[in-house]
A and B are shown apart, each in its own frame.
Chain A
Amino acid sequence: MSSISFIALKTIWIKECTRFLRIWVQTLVPPAITMTLYFVIFGSIVGERIGDMGGRPYMEFIVPGLIMMSIITNSYSNVASSFFSAKFQRNIEEMLVAPVSPAVIIGGYVGGGLARALIVAIIVTCVSFLFVENVSIHHAGILVLTVILTSTLFSLGGLINAIHAKTFDDISIVPTFVLTPLTYLGGVFFSIQLLPGIWEQVAQANPVLYMVNAFRYGFLGVSDVNVGVALAVIIGFNLVLFTLAFTLLKRGAGIRS
């Protein structure tokens, strides 16, 4: 990467981080409150009646899933709302008139989504300390790799959504009708081994399942799926979405007439 591209990449990244830090009440506080509620309701109140899951107390079992859920929603919504706002206010033109390549634009926005997801992940992990006494880390490398790959994946998803979106409603359709069902059915609150027969196999078509389980493996050392397969699936989705985002930006889809 040339030094000019690196400066442009750093500029977009700093701009993105400044944006979500400036509105921290909207971007960083809500995940902490939402996850506290999940821990209280599903962990403390309901969890005690459920007992163990995956060989762990229910509260410990859901911690990785809830952190991953925060990572997914925050990385996606950060890029989707920021890029669409730039389109809506037309300040995306600041980048389009400059010698900034599509790869640099993708890198800058994804970097912003990744930064927000990491900060939220740290906040939610700290919240989990209030409810779980021993948060152990089984494999730090897999933990970090899964966080980075998942944040990147959903940042790319948010970017593609924003490229296609024509109204603010369009950037809430995918999170509502696709992302939320996939996340809830992706093994955040339960082990897919509990699903009857065919449904266990159907659940394996859900990409979120691989992210939640790879992350859970990094934390607890337990997973419903093979961790190698899980990482391969996430990397595969990343490559597909990056190629799609790059092609769309290069063509000027949704941003050039």
Chain B
Amino acid sequence: MKALSIRGLKKTYKGGHEALKGIDLDVEEGDFFALLGPNGAGKSTTIGIISSLVNKSSGTVNVFGYDLDTQLVDLKRQIGLVPQEFNFNQFETVQQIVVNQAGYYGVPRELAKQRAEKYLKQLSLWDKRDSPARMLSGGMKRRLMIARALLHEPKLLILDEPTAGVDIELRRSMWDYLETINKQGITIILTTHYLEEAETLCRNIGIIDHGTIIENTSIKRLLATLNMETFVFDLAVSEGQSSTANLTLESFTWRALDDHTIEVDVEKSQGLNRVFEQLSAQHVTVLSMRNKANRLEELFVNLVEKGRKPTAAEA
């Protein structure tokens, strides 16, 4: 079953700005889906329409078979939303915020309190349950919004840049948590600017730019289209080699960053073995190696730039 099915979705704001130009998008049940795009591409508008915070201009939205226009109440019950900005009452306590949210979905108060304990403990917020939300750190506020979105136990969780401004340790613990609940059956749609996050967590991806979906495929398939990657090598130069300047790497484009570091452009057809062979022949030991940029990031930039190249008529 499809967790989300969007057809011909358009949104034109009052000032005439066309945020969505008729997008089609499908997300399968159980998927961990990344919706990527530059700022102002239409990600938040799409999420806003799905979660009924924004009125659409035309098109259809179905969530687990429920139609946005005719079965809104049932559709809303399927969705948990973690918005980009903190939008809870800063003066309410952590527990009040999550219990009230459950109440809006018709969860009886006693059951809501039990669930609040469960989710606040899972997200390490139970100790803060009686603290006003304004007293929490940024990371805690992010986790509070996740707990709040889960209290009515939705089947589809939508997270709009959930790890923005969160430190690495907390970000990774949030990734672990999201992976766990995804394995338990919750479909997740995630927007993020951290492409490493999308590559690590998500199986499928949609890239949106200027209100149009420019790619909608699996991350594996997308990465397979990457023809060239740039690798950075940290080298231990042996005696007789004064610096990386004396190195030669035939049929590769490469640059010396300093005496002990080089970066090499490797085409998919070339493979890395030939780089190692040539370095080894020159008595150079490779201490470590890494991708210069996130692979998805390279593809993302390529796709967005390609989509923005002026056509002959425009030029």
Cβ contact within 8 Å between A18 and B88? no
Is there a chain B Cβ closer than 8 Å to A140's Cβ? no
Q: Of the 9-residue stretches A95-103, A158-166, A179-187, A207-215, which lies at the interface with chain B?
A: A95-103
Is A99 within 8 A of B73, CB to CB? yes
- Are A94 and B53 within 8 A (Cβ)? no
Q: Which stretch, B103-111, B180-188, B238-246, B254-262, touches the partner chain A?
A: B103-111
Whether B101 and A89, one on each chain, are in contact in the complex, defined by CB atoms closer than 8 angstroms, is no
Q: Is B5's CB within 8 Å of the partner chain A?
A: no
Given A7-B106, A98-B76, A257-B55, CB of A93 within 8 Å of CB of B87: yes
Which one of A8-16, A67-75, A119-127 is at the interface? Answer: A8-16
From A2, A18, A19, A100, contact of B104 by CB (8 A) = A100
Interface residues of B in 18-77 (CB under 8 A from A): 48, 51-55, 72-74, 76-77
Bitwise interface map of A from 1 to 42 toward B, beta carbon under 8 Å scored 1, else 0:
011110110111011001100100000000000000000000
Q: How large is the interface on A (under 10, 10 to 19, 20 to 34, 35 or more residues)?
A: 20 to 34
Q: Is the CB of A97 within 8 A of B103?
A: no
A62 CB to nearest B CB, Å: 36
CB-CB under 8 A from B107, the residues of chain A are 7
A239 to B: closest C-beta gap in Å: 26
Q: CB < 8 Å: which of B51, B85, B96 contacts A97?
A: B51
Residues 52-94 of chain A, each 1 if its beta carbon lies under 8 Å from chain B, else 0: 0000000000000000000000000000000001100111011
Select A257's contact among B48, B88, B104, B108, beta carbons within 8 Å: B48
Are B79 and A97 neighbours in the complex by a CB distance under 8 Å? yes
A89 near B87: Cβ-Cβ < 8 Å: yes
B132's nearest neighbour on chain A, judged by CB, is: A22
User: Is the Cβ of B53 less than 8 Å from the Cβ of A256?
Assistant: yes
Q: Residue B278 at the A interface, CB < 8 A?
A: no
Q: In this complex, which of A5, A15, A256 has the most chain B Cβ atoms within 10 angstroms of its Cβ? A: A15
A24 nearest CB across to chain B (Å): 14
CB B45 to nearest CB in A, in angstroms, measures 9
In the complex the two chains form, is A11's CB within 8 Å of B104's CB? Answer: yes
**A98's contact among B90, B92, B104, by CB below 8 Å, is which?**
B104
A97 touches B53 (CB 8 A): yes
B100 within 8 A of A: yes
In the complex, A221 has a CB within 8 A of chain B: no
B57 → chain A closest CB, angstroms: 11
Q: Which of B52, B74, B85, B92 contacts A90 (CB 8 A)?
A: B85
Residues of B within 8 A of A2 (CB): 106
Is the beta-carbon distance between A99 and B76 smaller than 8 angstroms?
A: yes
Q: Measured between C-beta atoms, what is the minimum distance from B136 to chain A in Å?
A: 15
The DSSP consensus for interface residues of chain B is loop
Chain B interface bracket (under 10, 10 to 19, 20 to 34, 35 or more)? 35 or more
- The answer, yes or no, to whether A51 is at the interface (CB within 8 Å) is no
Please, which residues of chain A bring their CB within 8 A of the CB of B87?
Answer: 89-91, 93-94
Residue with the highest number of chain B CB atoms closer than 10 Å, among A5, A8, A15, A99: A99
Question: Who on chain A is nearest to B106 by CB?
Answer: A4
Q: Are A97 and B81 in contact (CB under 8 A)?
A: yes
Nearest B residue (CB) for A91:
B89
Given contacts A91-B89, A96-B53, A97-B51, contact A10 B83 (CB under 8 A): no
Nearest-neighbour CB distance to chain A for B70, whole angstroms, equals 14
| A8–B55 touching, CB < 8 Å | no
Find out whether the CB atom of B89 lies under 8 angstroms from the CB atom of A86: yes
CA distance A98 to B53 in the complex (A): 10
Asked whether B106 lies within 8 Å of A93 as measured between CB atoms, the reply is no
B16 to A: closest C-beta gap in Å: 13
CB-CB under 8 A for A94 and B96, given A99-B73, A256-B53: no
Residues of A contacting B83 in the complex (Cβ-Cβ under 8 angstroms): 90, 93
Residue pair B108, A98 in contact (C-beta under 8 Å) = no
> Using a CB-CB cutoff of 8 Å, which residues 222-280 of chain B contact chain A?
none
Taking CB atoms, residues of chain A closer than 8 Å to B77 are: 99
- Chain A min CB distance to B17 (Å): 11
Q: How far is the CA of A125 from the CA of B251 in the complex (A)?
A: 94
A157 to B266, CA, bound (A): 69
Nearest chain B residue, comparing its CB with the CB of A255: B53
**B177 interfacial contact with A, CB 8 Å:** no
Q: Tell whether, in the assembled complex, residue B72 and residue A257 are in contact, meaning their CB atoms are under 8 Å apart.
A: no
**Contact partner of A8 among B72, B90, B92, B103, CB < 8 A?**
B103
Residues of A within 8 A of B89 (CB): 85-86, 89, 91
Task: Report whether A94 and B101 are in contact in the complex, using a CB–CB cutoff of 8 Å.
Answer: yes
The reply on A252 being an interface residue by CB < 8 A is: yes
A93 to B87, CA, bound (A): 7
The 8 closest A-B pairs by CB, nearest first: A11-B103, A4-B106, A98-B104, A90-B87, A99-B73, A99-B76, A91-B89, A7-B106
Give me 16 other A-B pairs in contact (C-beta within 8 A), A94-B101, A97-B81 excluded: A4-B106, A8-B104, A14-B100, A19-B91, A90-B83, A91-B87, A93-B53, A93-B83, A93-B87, A97-B76, A99-B72, A99-B73, A99-B104, A256-B52, A256-B53, A257-B53
Q: Which residues of A contact B (CB under 8 A)?
A: 2-5, 7-8, 10-12, 14-15, 18-19, 22, 85-86, 89-91, 93-100, 252, 256-257
For this complex, 6 residue pairs linking A to B, each with C-beta atoms less than 8 Å apart, are A4-B106, A14-B103, A89-B90, A94-B87, A96-B52, A99-B72
